[in-house]
Structure 1
Amino acid sequence: MNHALNGLLASLILPILAVPAQADNDDDSLVRAFSAMTSLEDGWEPLEFPKIDRHSRYRLVQDNGEQVVKATTDNSASGLIARVSVEPGESLILRWRWKVSNVFEQGDARTKEGDDYPARIYVAFEFEPEEAGFFERAKRKTVEVLFGEELPGNALNYIWANRLPVGEIVVNPFTDTTMMVAVNSGESNSGEWVTVERDIVADYKEAFGRTPPKLAGVAIMSDSDNTGESATAWYGDIQLLKP
């Protein structure tokens, strides 16, 4: 994502553009299943960023008889988001499957220039004012006045990385309120469907050293505006489940 905007947008923009997700899922998931959607606006909404004119493209397609979301990114950045309000409790499971055509040659989760991913899932949490310093609270208050929205706090990004080892968690190069979790890495599984399951509570504790607050939103994003590269990704149903 654009260098000047990424830090602010990654930690602040989600609820400004989000709308509540549909509650009438076919299973126990707290977000709308892609396989049950009649359009991309059926529980998820576009996530687009100021000053980024090239948007990644998302559409519903059939893959082996199942409806999934196909994302195409080409020197572009945008996503799809769903607003949720969930108390994590002792465990909260995020389960999904995805597939990518390739990773980015210049992709590197540790650098601003390489902060692009053919596929990622973004989990945002409510802001915790008691954990923030004075300047962070003041900055957020200014944006709230401008946009009239309560803004999220920390975030976990589950990424299909290029060179970051699977299982490693690193701070986002633009903002320390977002932690990057490599759940897949490299080309070895490119072109194949991969199923991932994570305990959001356990990941949050490892990443931030404390119990997570209430969830505020879930997003998917395929972006390549920093590297200028291109890729295609497919996202199957995303399940947010309380055990």
Structure 2
Amino acid sequence: MSAVLLTIGLSVVLGMGAPADSIAQSNGVVVDDFEQDSDGAYPSNWVYVSSDGDVYDVSREMDDDDEWARVQQEDGRSFLRTYAEGTALRITARNGEEFDWSLNEQPWLEWTWRVRSYPEGGNEKEKSANDTAAAIYVTFGTDWIGRPKSIKYTFSSTLGVGATDQQGPLRVMVIDSPNNRGFGDWKTIRRNIPADYRQLFGEDPPNDPISITIWSDSDTIAGQESSADFDEIRVLDL
């Protein structure tokens, strides 16, 4: 089975169209595979964290007309489907609460996603077009003025795979795009988090990341929508 090495960092796109379990087994922690949730349910292992740090149930923040994240079933597989129209959606799993993660023990993050629709013209480097169909954030803490330090692994409508950007304490890394091979198929993506952090921040990461966040938004470019599926989110020792 072939693997495509991306040009930035240590990443592998594996086995497009196949579940992660059929590709590699390793010691690690399952953040979520959505198998414990029923079809149509909100994901039970995720929360909404406000900008003030308050924690709420996911269902409290969802508007089923234009913003939702629900577990779906297809061909015997459970996964999370997100949809955002004119809004930004985020749900978070916290290290030490919903799962446990030490970079010394599990330096790799792996997940599977399938982008269904994306905002035309979305560009993470432009404030006027900063929309994305799918992203995974890893947050490590805060900078000296209290802003979250995060890496955003993103699907970009326009930027090429390997592109990076700095937005205050946020580092953006494009890992997928509609021009990348296999658009519309399941893709399993694996990232070496310490290597990426050193590349993007120029220093060693803290051992215990704060959280992992699933993100999808279409709130900048008028008349656009984003939809993506997520599954098999794991931290691995390879």
Provide TM-score, normalisation by structure 1. 0.71
Structure 2 unaligned blocks of 5 or more? 1-26, 53-60
- Shift in Å at residue 91 of structure 1? 6.0
Greater helix content: 1
Cα pair 2:33 2:78 within 8 Å, conserved: no
Cα pair 1:97 1:193 within 8 Å, conserved: yes
Specify whether residues 90 and 166 from structure 1 end up closer, same or farther in structure 2 by C-alpha distance, changes over 3 A only: farther
Task: Indicate the residue corresponding to 2:187 in structure 1.
Answer: 194
**What is the number of equivalent residue pairs in this alignment?**
193
Task: Indicate the residue corresponding to 1:6 in structure 2.
Answer: none
Correspondence 1:123 to 2:138? yes
Identity %: 25
**1:76-95 map, 5 Å:** 76-85=87-96, 86-89=101-104, 92-95=107-110
Q: Distance in 2 between matches of 1:35 and 1:43?
A: 11
Specify whether residues 57 and 43 from structure 1 end up closer, same or farther in structure 2 by C-alpha distance, changes over 3 A only: same
> What is the DSSP-based 3-state SS (H/G/I as helix, E as strand, rest coil) of the residue aligned with 1:197?
strand
Structure 1 unaligned blocks of 5 or more? 1-26, 141-151
Cα pair 2:86 2:225 within 8 Å, conserved: yes
2:81 to 70, 77, 88: 70
Q: Distance in 2 between matches of 1:83 and 1:62?
A: 25
Task: Give CA deviations for 1:3-61 in whole Å, capped at 9, x if unaligned.
Answer: xxxxxxxxxxxxxxxxxxxxxxxx831523323335535221235679x9966211110
Specify whether residues 100 and 37 from structure 1 end up closer, same or farther in structure 2 by C-alpha distance, changes over 3 A only: same
Task: Give CA deviations for 1:149-174 in whole Å, capped at 9, x if unaligned.
Answer: xxx741000101122221222113xx
- Shift in Å at residue 89 of structure 1? 2.3
> What is the DSSP-based 3-state SS (H/G/I as helix, E as strand, rest coil) of the residue aligned with 2:28?
coil
Task: Indicate the residue corresponding to 2:37 in structure 1.
Answer: 37
Task: Indicate the residue corresponding to 1:233 in structure 2.
Answer: 228
Cα pair 2:32 2:231 within 8 Å, conserved: no
Task: Indicate the residue corresponding to 2:177 in structure 1.
Answer: 185
Provide TM-score, normalisation by structure 2. 0.72
Q: RMSD of the TM alignment (CA)?
A: 2.5
